[in-house]
Amino acid sequence: MRPLTVPTALVTGASRGLGATIARFLAGEGFELFLTARGGRALEETADALRVFGTEIHTSVGDVTDSRHRTVLRDLVSTAGRLDLLVNNASELGPSPLPPLVRHPLAEFEQVYRTNVVAPLALVQELLPFLEQAGGQIVNISSDAAVGGYPGWGSYGASKAAFDLVSLTLAHELQDRGISVVVVDPGDLRTTMHQAAFPGEDISDRPLPEVTMPFWAWLLHQPRDAVSGRRFRAQSERWEVPA
């Protein structure tokens, strides 16, 4: 078991994009990391690149919608005995090109909800004892689509809106257990998922995920109880969304 002075974090969807960027920041902060994603090769490449920071990196390839994989993640985290930070970053966009809701395949609509709402909640349930042990923090990645009502973004946006409410409810319910919960909208980023939303279009005007680094440096050094229950925008001049 690692010394309790070493902070620990689990990041989902950590193989590339925003997840890999957050993992890189945390490795630089000295976190012992548990990383998961569906793509094995990309996940291992990310983990190898982070080991230069000298911290322990554990990987597990799998889908967070799979209960067996969530059990594997719980068992991995149990080796540390605590979890200081859970970053629910893994997300499902839905069909590409993005269809209007009136033509959206319902099976894929349900899959978006399983990935973006049900799976992260299930992961919180699995990892709750370790988060409580550490007085940990849950960071749930949202989107401006949760409030925008953008054509074509209906399933993704609705799932993120539901996830926002799940997060706020968890913040209230877990307060007495010493666990904080925050929501973060990272803004438009030049990622594989964002490209899938605009197939064949040039998205090079969007910034890379590294643009969010100043925000993470700020958020993860705030008193956890002071930020719990709040929603933040990582690319805004004012990070906190007004109530």
Active site residues: 156
SS3 letters for the chain?
A: CCCCCCCEEEEECCCCHHHHHHHHHHHHCCCEEEEEECCHHHHHHHHHHHHHHCCCEEEEECCCCCHHHHHHHHHHHHCCCCCCEEEECCCCCCCCCCCCHHHCCHHHHHHHHHHHHHHHHHHHHHHHHHHHHHCCEEEEECCCHHHHCCCCCHHHHHHHHHHHHHHHHHHHHHHHHCCEEEEEECCCCCCHHHHHHCCCCCCCCCCCHHHHHHHHHHHCCCCHHHHCCCEEECCCCCCECCC
